[in-house]
């Protein structure tokens, strides 16, 4: 059974489209379980009905025509219960419904299992038999496993509109649009053309892309094949003396595959069909891989890896020979499975309208960058059919996390209206630029900007920020080929300190590790967020820390607006050691005759242990800055980049709210100022709570600044404290968010937390 299961799962994963996956399943399952019928029903939310989508055993004519209302029939019973229903004699069950056109009169045994994706029932998989007997435990678990595999394919098909298209062919279909859901990454709404980006040499991630110059594509493909042939011939002769003959034969097999008609011929066929060379190559290679993997012979099935490897080699040449600068659409929505900060940085700012990534969450660094650039971002859109949506019209709603691929005119019109309202709201907000962030009852909360991208200083300056509350120094480290030297760093820091003087600037010492890697300082760890990160690295490498500290202090000479912030402090000795190093850097500079002033020193409170030791830390520093991004991830044990658990990641979780409150109280008890510099500071709903707790300042991406200012200017400290009192009694994040959002709508500030005004 296990082997059959493996084969079916593989066949479903490799199926070209949903129709093919469904028909593979019904045929193979019927055969494997020796049943008389296997059918798949799909939930049609628009019609509130279950539709028969594929069957082996019932009348094939009934596909698309048998429809069961959501509250009728055994199929619906399975869907509402969201668990298997296993009956020996189905016609005797009170929910049984008989459909004459399906020809199911003779079947007694009934087993239905729900097809569930992320807690949502998408359809029902059913087997039926003539024998009036219940199905065995093994049959039930077998069918559940198949259904769980089918769920992913179905969710994908729903997201790409494929299911809608299938349903559309049916006369009962009513026009409705289902958006695809992701997580809100950066606020705003955008409509534009998708551009799918992918890591170089990742064959599976290559999207389909239409081409006009077919002959040029074929030529490029032939050239790549030729290059790979030369490469393999070279490797083969180089290794001829050292490899045993049977291993060397692998290269001959590669050459045979390259020369053979099937690989080239099929790829060229796909190109002639209008797909570009890389997409055509992906189609051919994946087809061949599937063919080999499906073979029962273990030797042949392992050859699938060789074919894939060959595909990668061809792709590498195709990409280098064919390298053309990417042509970004006028209104680009950047789409990808894993969008890196540098992919985002490559898009001309004037063309970038939005970002949609199938991985990551609100606090991934790509989302932080999108926010800094003021464009909406949707993260963790897991069901995004990335390879099939290049060059399509897309609407991205960064408030709700909804994405519409090729939306119909009605949706487009609605979003165009919302975008217009957004623009109005933004210009109204811009008018607040030079106004102070003071509540109606006179509490002033300075608002600082988070930055780190050099090109990012201008928006921060223009946003009316009272200074820089968090300068992430790792970004300039990340875009270089080696550690920047002291003078190079001095230039970078001097530019920011000078641009903002006399306003304060907080430079954070290097916080690499976790999801921020330096290309020239690789760290390989099983669990990088719990590993060698931030201050842990720089204390182990005092040479890096001292150079950075010296550069920072020198950059502040004559300006004296520098504060130094230490990331990832989890113990008191770490802070003590870091302070000794800072003192050393200072003493050295004084000895060298440089007229430096001692900067203020603060710690990030972003690890739970730091919350519990806030009193001990507060005694030793000049200020606290709460890093809610990491604090949330570490308190809730939810990886901030993992889309699978992203729904659990919420900075309004009561544990996080209480931890922040406790930190603020400790800071107050020790008379040091405390700020929040995590993404929570830019979340209008959370800002009210932070004011109620007595936060001294907030630091956020420049694009959130005027929104937050508006919230502050329209609220009173007294009201914020009342809200906080209520929230502190609540027991889950959703209740808290709901409560805060409803207060926002009541106060006429809904436009700050959703699309529109
Ligand atoms: C944080 O953790 O909240 C923070 C501001 O730092 P980063 O996002 O750079 O880890
Ligand atoms: Mg952090």
Residue 708 gets which letter from DSSP? Answer: H
Q: Where are the beta strands (DSSP E) in 331-461?
A: 332-336, 352-357, 377-379, 393-397, 402-405, 447-451
Pocket test for ligand 1, best of 362, 364, 604, 683 (most atoms within 8 A of CB): 604
400-418, pLDDT tens digit by residue?
A: 899 998 888 878 888 888 8
Structure tokens at 540: 């182990």
397/572 Cα distance (integer angstroms): 43
Residue 448 gets which letter from DSSP? Answer: E
Ligand 1 center from residue 567 Cα (angstroms): 8
Note the residue count of the chain. Answer: 757
Ligand 2 center from residue 506 Cα (angstroms): 14
Ligand 1 center from residue 197 Cα (angstroms): 26
Residue 701 gets which letter from DSSP? Answer: E
694/675 Cα distance (integer angstroms): 10
More confident residue, 644 or 75: 75
Pocket test for ligand 1, best of 362, 513, 630, 635 (most atoms within 8 A of CB): 630
pLDDT computed for residue 560 by the predictor: 94
Ligand 2 center from residue 567 Cα (angstroms): 7
Determine what percent of the chain is predicted with pLDDT higher than 90: 49
Q: Do residues 258 and 310 touch, judged by C-beta distance below 8 A?
A: yes
Q: Per-residue confidence at 419, pLDDT binned at 50, 70, 90?
A: confident
Q: Count of alpha carbons within 13 Å of 643, Cβ hemisphere only?
A: 21
Atom 8 in ligand 1: which residue has the minimum CA distance?
Answer: 629
504-552, pLDDT tens digit by residue?
A: 999 999 999 887 778 788 788 889 899 999 999 999 999 999 999 999 9
pLDDT computed for residue 342 by the predictor: 63
More confident residue, 105 or 154: 154
Structure tokens at 516: 């921020």
Q: Which ligand is nearest to the CA of 368?
A: 1
Q: Is 677 a catalytic residue?
A: yes
Ligand 1 center from residue 307 Cα (angstroms): 43
Give the mean pLDDT of the chain: 87
pLDDT above 80 for 165: no
Q: Do residues 732 and 654 touch, judged by C-beta distance below 8 A?
A: yes
Structure tokens at 565: 């912030």
In the predicted model, what is the mean pLDDT of residues 148-168? 73
203/387 Cα distance (integer angstroms): 11
Ligand 2 center from residue 569 Cα (angstroms): 10
284-312, pLDDT tens digit by residue?
A: 999 888 888 777 776 666 677 778 878 88
Residue 747 gets which letter from DSSP? Answer: T
Identify the residues whose C-beta falls under 6 Å from ligand 1.
470, 472, 511, 606, 627-630, 677-678
Pocket test for ligand 1, best of 678, 679, 682 (most atoms within 8 A of CB): 678
Lowest mean pLDDT among 62-66, 170-174, 361-365: 170-174
Atom 10 in ligand 1: which residue has the minimum CA distance?
Answer: 630
pLDDT above 70 for 176: no
Atom of ligand 1 nearest to the CA of 629: 3
Atom 4 in ligand 1: which residue has the minimum CA distance?
Answer: 627
Atom of ligand 1 nearest to the CA of 567: 6
Q: Is 365 a catalytic residue?
A: yes
More confident residue, 247 or 717: 717
733-750, pLDDT tens digit by residue?
A: 999 999 998 888 787 777
Q: Per-residue confidence at 242, pLDDT binned at 50, 70, 90?
A: low
549/510 Cα distance (integer angstroms): 10
pLDDT computed for residue 170 by the predictor: 45
Residue from 365, 524, 658, 671 carrying the catalytic annotation? 365
Looking up tokens 């623009």 gives 423
Kindly list the strands in the beta sheet with 393-397, ordered across the sheet, starting from the edge strand earlier in the chain: 180-181, 402-405, 393-397, 189-196, 332-336, 352-357, 377-379, 183-186
Q: How far is CA 375 from CA 128, 187, 655, in A?
A: 52, 7, 30
Atom 9 in ligand 1: which residue has the minimum CA distance?
Answer: 472
* Separation of CA 348 from chain center: 22
Ligand 2 center from residue 754 Cα (angstroms): 27
Q: Where are the beta strands (DSSP E) in 358-401?
A: 377-379, 393-397
Atom 3 in ligand 1: which residue has the minimum CA distance?
Answer: 627
Ligand 2 center from residue 626 Cα (angstroms): 9
pLDDT computed for residue 570 by the predictor: 98
Structure tokens at 335: 């789409």
Region of residue 300 (left: phi > 0; alpha: psi -120 to 50; beta: else): alpha
Atom 6 in ligand 1: which residue has the minimum CA distance?
Answer: 627
Looking up tokens 């042509």 gives 327
pLDDT computed for residue 644 by the predictor: 82
Helix axes 137-159, 2-14, angle to 10 degrees: 10
Q: Which ligand is nearest to the CA of 628?
A: 1
Instruction: Name which of 334, 409, 406, 408 is nearest 367 in CA terms.
Output: 334
Residues measured by CB to lie within 5 Å of ligand 2, the ion: 606, 627, 630
Atom of ligand 1 nearest to the CA of 511: 9
Residue from 38, 43, 50, 677 carrying the catalytic annotation? 677
394 SS3 class: strand
What is the DSSP annotation of 510-569? P--BTTB-BTTB----SSGGGSS-THHHHHH-HHHHHHHHHHHHHHTTTT--EEEEE-S-
Atom 1 in ligand 1: which residue has the minimum CA distance?
Answer: 627
340/384 Cα distance (integer angstroms): 17
Ligand 1 center from residue 706 Cα (angstroms): 21
Question: Phi and psi (nearest 5°) for 571?
Answer: -140, 160
Pocket test for ligand 1, best of 528, 606, 640, 699 (most atoms within 8 A of CB): 606
Cβ partners under 8 Å of residue 418, min gap 6: 189, 755, 756
Looking up tokens 């954070």 gives 508
More confident residue, 320 or 500: 500
Atom of ligand 1 nearest to the CA of 633: 2
């Amino acid at each position: 059974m296990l082997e059959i299961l493996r084969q079916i799962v593989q066949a479903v994963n490799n199926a070209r489209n949903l129709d093919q996956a469904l028909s593979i399943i019904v045929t193979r399952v019927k055969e494997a379980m020796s049943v008389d019928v296997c059918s798949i029903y799909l939930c049609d939310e628009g019609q509130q009905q279950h539709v028969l989508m594929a069957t082996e055993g019932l009348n094939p004519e009934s596909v698309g025509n048998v429809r069961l209302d959501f509250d009728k029939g055994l199929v619906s019973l399975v869907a509402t219960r969201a668990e298997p229903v296993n009956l020996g004699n189905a016609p005797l069950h009170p929910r049984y419904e008989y459909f004459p056109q399906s020809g199911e009169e003779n079947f007694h045994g009934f087993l239905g299992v729900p097809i569930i994706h992320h807690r949502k029932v998408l359809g029902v998989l059913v087997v039926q038999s003539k024998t009036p007997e219940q199905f065995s435990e093994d049959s039930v678990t077998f069918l559940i496993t198949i259904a769980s595999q089918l769920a992913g394919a179905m969710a994908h098909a729903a997201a790409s509109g494929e299911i809608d298209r299938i349903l559309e062919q049916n006369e009962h279909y009513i026009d409705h649009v289902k958006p695809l859901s992701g997580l809100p990454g950066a606020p705003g709404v955008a409509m534009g053309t998708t551009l799918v980006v992918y890591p170089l040499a990742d064959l599976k991630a290559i999207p389909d892309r239409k081409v006009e110059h077919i002959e040029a594509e074929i030529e490029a493909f032939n050239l790549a094949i030729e290059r790979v042939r030369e490469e393999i011939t070279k490797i083969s002769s180089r290794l001829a003396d050292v490899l045993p003959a049977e291993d060397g034969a692998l290269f001959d097999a590669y050459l045979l595959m390259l020369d053979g008609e099937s690989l080239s011929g099929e790829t060229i066929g796909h190109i002639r069909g209008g797909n570009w060379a890389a997409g055509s190559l992906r189609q051919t290679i994946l087809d061949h891989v599937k063919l080999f993997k499906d073979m029962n012979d273990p030797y042949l099935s392992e050859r699938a890896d060789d074919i894939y490897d060959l595909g990668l080699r061809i792709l590498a040449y195709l990409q280098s020979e064919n390298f053309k600068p990417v042509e970004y659409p006028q209104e680009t929505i950047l789409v990808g499975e894993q969008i890196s900060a540098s992919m985002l940085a490559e898009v001309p700012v004037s063309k970038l309208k939005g970002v949609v990534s199938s991985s990551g969450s609100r606090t991934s660094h790509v989302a932080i960058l999108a926010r800094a650039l003021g464009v909406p971002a949707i993260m963790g859109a897991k069901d995004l059919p990335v390879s099939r949506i290049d060059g399509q019209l897309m609407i991205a709603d960064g408030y709700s996390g909804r994405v519409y691929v090729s939306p119909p005119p009605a949706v487009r019109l609605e979003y165009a209206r919302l975008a217009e309202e957004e623009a109005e709201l933004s210009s109204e907000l811009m008018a607040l630029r030079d106004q102070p962030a003071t509540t109606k009852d006179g509490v002033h909360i300075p608002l600082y900007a988070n930055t780190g991208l050099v090109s990012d200083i201008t928006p921060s300056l223009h946003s009316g920020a009272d200074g820089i509350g968090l300068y992430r120094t790792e970004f300039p480290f990340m875009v270089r080929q080696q550690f920047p030297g002291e003078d190079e760093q001095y230039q970078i820091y001097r530019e920011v300190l000078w641009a903002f003087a006399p306003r304060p600037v907080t430079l954070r010492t290097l916080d690499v590790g976790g999801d921020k890697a330096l290309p020239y300082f690789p760290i390989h760890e099983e669990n990088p967020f719990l590993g060698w990160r931030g201050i842990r690295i720089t204390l182990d490498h005092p040479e890096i820390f001292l150079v950075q500290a010296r550069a920072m202090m020198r950059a502040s000479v004559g300006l004296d607006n520098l504060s130094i912030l230490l990331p990832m402090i989890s113990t008191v000795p770490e802070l003590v050691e870091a302070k000794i190093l800072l003192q050393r850097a200072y003493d050295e500079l004084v000895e060298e005759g440089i007229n430096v002033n001692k900067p203020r020193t603060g710690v990030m409170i972003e690890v739970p242990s730091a919350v519990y030791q806030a009193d001990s830390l507060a005694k030793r520093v000049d200020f606290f800055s709460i890093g809610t991004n990491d604090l949330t991830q570490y308190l809730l044990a939810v990886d901030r980049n993992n889309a699978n658990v992203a729904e659990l990641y919420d900075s309004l979780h009561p544990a996080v709210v209480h931890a922040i409150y406790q930190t603020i109280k400790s800071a107050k008890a020790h008379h040091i100022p405390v700020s929040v510099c995590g993404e929570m500071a830019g979340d209008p709903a959370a800002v009210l709570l932070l004011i109620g707790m007595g936060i001294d300042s907030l630091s956020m991406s420049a694009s959130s600044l005027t929104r937050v200012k508006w919230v502050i200017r329209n609220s009173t400290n007294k009201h914020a404290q009342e809200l906080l009192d209520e929230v502190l009694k609540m027991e889950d994040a959703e209740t808290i968010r709901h409560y805060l959002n409803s207060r926002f709508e009541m106060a006429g500030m809904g436009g700050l937390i959703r699309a529109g005004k």
